[in-house]
Amino acid sequence: EAGVAQSPRYKIIEKRQSVAFWCNPISGHATLYWYQQILGQGPKLLIQFQNNGVVDDSQLPKDRFSAERLKGVDSTLKIQPAKLEDSAVYLCASSLEAGGANEQFFGPGTRLTVL
């Protein structure tokens, strides 16, 4: 079974530029998550989708971050404009359903460096 796919793996941009990340979850997984992992920290949830609907985006900086999962499968996360403090690894995860014993499987992440 293929795991969670993410691209690109690395991205370097200058502050105030825009960037987008893509995630393809495990086939059949209804729930998709985007996390931000700053160096030396654990992952922090940015947004959770159930199919194509947003379940939790309380920690998403909505003035510059946006995410969509239009067809309930792939998802994109965008930052516009980027700030220096956005430098982090952005992890995508998926699970069959939300909560319970439906645990999350993580992709390899996209490492973003903002100069």
The footprint of other proteins (CB under 8 A) covers 4, 9, 40-45, 48, 56, 91, 93, 98-99, 101, 103-109
Token couple for 80:
């516009």
Q: Cβ closer to other proteins: 75 or 104?
A: 104
Would residue 84 be called left, alpha or beta, if left means φ above 0 and alpha means ψ between -120 and 50 degrees? alpha
Phi, psi of 84 (to 5 degrees): -55, -40
**DSSP per-residue codes, 9-61:** SEEEE-TT--EEEEEE--TT--EEEEEEE-TTS--EEEEEEETTEEEE-TTS-
Q: Cβ closer to other proteins: 45 or 73?
A: 45
Q: Cβ closer to other proteins: 28 or 99?
A: 99
Q: Cβ closer to other proteins: 91 or 112?
A: 91
